[in-house]
Structure 1
Amino acid sequence: MKSIIFFDIDGTIVTEDERAVIPESTREAIKETRKIGNLTFINSGRTAFNISPKVKELGFDGYICGCGTYIEYGGKVLLKRTVPKDECIRIAKLLRECRVTPVYEHSDGYFFDDKATMTDGLRYFMEVFVDSGIDVSGRVEDDDFGFDKFVIWQNENSDMELFRREIGKSYSIIDRGGGFYENVPLGFSKATGIETILKLLDIPMERAYAIGDSMNDLPMLQAVPNSIAMGGAENIYPYVSYITTPIEEDGIANALKHYGLI
């Protein structure tokens, strides 16, 4: 019986630094497991437009993006959920009141708020985006402003009590550390994406595997019985079934070998 493997991207498939390296052993392991009939899916917080060509060329069967707000299988879009326009405008106004720095993530692009404080985190993100050829011209004032999910950085002037109280009513707030938070509409997660795919393909849960490296991977890691943490991701060690080696020490290949998937 075929198995299905869900992979995070940053820190799992690709090194989480400016090099953005995909180890050769990762390429070969994904190729080999697909060759013997297993399915491979990306399951990422990134929205659909920001899955790089070098990730796609590895040959995945499908993509769960934006923490479950977008699902694609076999080249067909099964789900694409964008927050309603009036809600997007309300949230943008609220985040200004909270004095946090947002990046609004849509399946087709990013939107920024020039009235927000420029943080080191945002500056680094924008530099990476520009280097990657990603358009950073989108603004909250644009007619096509909208988002599927959003991230924020806090600063010394941020009203985080207001942020947590109001945003928490409609969004899951994921603390990524260092004052950086990922915010996903309630009812959507990396886990809901897995549930949708398993039901669609009629694959039993015991044949599902998930591999990640950060706290925003917890929903998918806790959704499957075979959960794997990349070596070095100590904060998620207590929540997984198996800990593999670091990404550049053949982490993906060793994980798939451990479970007999290659």
Structure 2
Amino acid sequence: MQSIIFFDIDGTLVTEDARAIIPQSTREAIELTRKKGNLTFINSGRTAFNISSRVKELGFDGYICGCGTYIEFGGNVIFSRTIPQDECRRIAELMRKCNVTPVYEHSEGYFFDDKAPVTEGLRYFMDVFVSTGIDVSGRVEDADFGFDKFVIWKNPDSDMELFRKEVSKDYSIIDRGGGFYENVPLGFSKATGIEMILEKLGISMDHAYAIGDSMNDLPMLEAVPNSIAMGGAENIYPYVSYVTTPIEEDGIKNALLHFNLI
């Protein structure tokens, strides 16, 4: 019976540091499971344009991006949901009132707000984006401003009470730690993306596997019966059915071996 495996990116396929290592054993394991007839999918909070060629070259049958707001299979976009522009502009004004630092994520690019305080987190993001050739020219004032989801950093003077009160009406607020929050439209998650793909492909949930390393992976890890935490991701151990070795200790390969997927 064909199985389907959903992979997070950062900390799962690629080391979550400046080295951005993809272990050779990970490359080999993905190739072997596909040769066995299994399907492989990216399931990431990243929006579609921000899936690097290095990751794509590993070999995937499809992509769930932006926490379920964009889904691609076999090279075709089968679902895409961008927030209406009037709502995007409302949120941008609200973020200014809250005095937080946002990055607005669209399937085709990023948008920034020059009126927002500059945080260390934003500086790091911008440095990474520039070093990897990602366009950072998009601004809230642009005519084509829009987003599928957004992230924010809080600042010492941020009104987080107003932020939580207003944003939670229409978005799931995911606390990523360190004053960094990911905000996804209600009704969308890494889990809803899995459900849509399984229904489209006629694959039983029993044959679905998910591998992740952080709290924002919980929706997909809790959605499938075969959930895997990368070694070292202790905060999600209670929520998974198997803990593999760390990423640089053949974590992906060992996980797929454990479930007889290679």
Say whether the fold is shared (TM-score over 0.5).
yes
Secondary structure of the structure 2 residue equivalent to 1:169:
coil
The residue that corresponds to 1:191 in the other structure is: 191
The residue that corresponds to 1:122 in the other structure is: 122
Q: How does 1:78-227 map to 2 (within 5 A)?
A: 78-227=78-227
Rounded Cα–Cα distance in structure 2 between residues aligned with 1:178 and 1:236: 17
Rounded Cα–Cα distance in structure 1 between residues aligned with 2:38 and 2:212: 18
Secondary structure of the structure 2 residue equivalent to 1:157:
coil
CA deviation string 1:94-127 (max 9, x = no partner):
0000000000000000000011110000000000
The one-letter code of the counterpart of 2:44 is S
Rounded Cα–Cα distance in structure 2 between residues aligned with 1:229 and 1:155: 31
The one-letter code of the counterpart of 1:6 is F
Rounded Cα–Cα distance in structure 2 between residues aligned with 1:94 and 1:206: 42
Secondary structure of the structure 1 residue equivalent to 2:91:
helix
Q: How far apart are 1:229 and its partner, in Å?
A: 0.4
Q: How does 1:226-241 map to 2 (within 5 A)?
A: 226-241=226-241
The residue that corresponds to 2:41 in the other structure is: 41
Rounded Cα–Cα distance in structure 2 between residues aligned with 1:256 and 1:250: 10
The residue that corresponds to 1:61 in the other structure is: 61
Q: TM-score, normalization: structure 2?
A: 0.99
CA deviation string 1:137-179 (max 9, x = no partner):
1000000100000000001101111000000000000000000
The residue that corresponds to 2:253 in the other structure is: 253
Q: How far apart are 1:18 and its partner, in Å?
A: 1.2
The residue that corresponds to 2:52 in the other structure is: 52
Which segments of 5 or more consecutive residues in structure 1 lack a partner in the other structure? none
The one-letter code of the counterpart of 2:85 is K
Structure 1 stretches of 4+ with a deviation exceeding 3 A read none
Which segments of 5 or more consecutive residues in structure 2 lack a partner in the other structure? none
The residue that corresponds to 2:76 in the other structure is: 76
Rounded Cα–Cα distance in structure 2 between residues aligned with 1:239 and 1:164: 26
CA deviation string 1:42-91 (max 9, x = no partner):
00000000000011111100000000000000000001100000000000
> Identity, % of aligned pairs?
81
Secondary structure of the structure 2 residue equivalent to 1:5:
strand
Q: How far apart are 1:19 and its partner, in Å?
A: 1.2
Rounded Cα–Cα distance in structure 2 between residues aligned with 1:62 and 1:191: 15
Rounded Cα–Cα distance in structure 1 between residues aligned with 2:108 and 2:80: 11
Secondary structure of the structure 2 residue equivalent to 1:252:
helix
Rounded Cα–Cα distance in structure 1 between residues aligned with 2:78 and 2:215: 26
Corresponding pairs, count: 262
Q: How far apart are 1:261 and its partner, in Å?
A: 0.4
Rounded Cα–Cα distance in structure 2 between residues aligned with 1:172 and 1:22: 30
Q: Does residue 30 of structure 2 align to residue 30 of structure 1?
A: yes
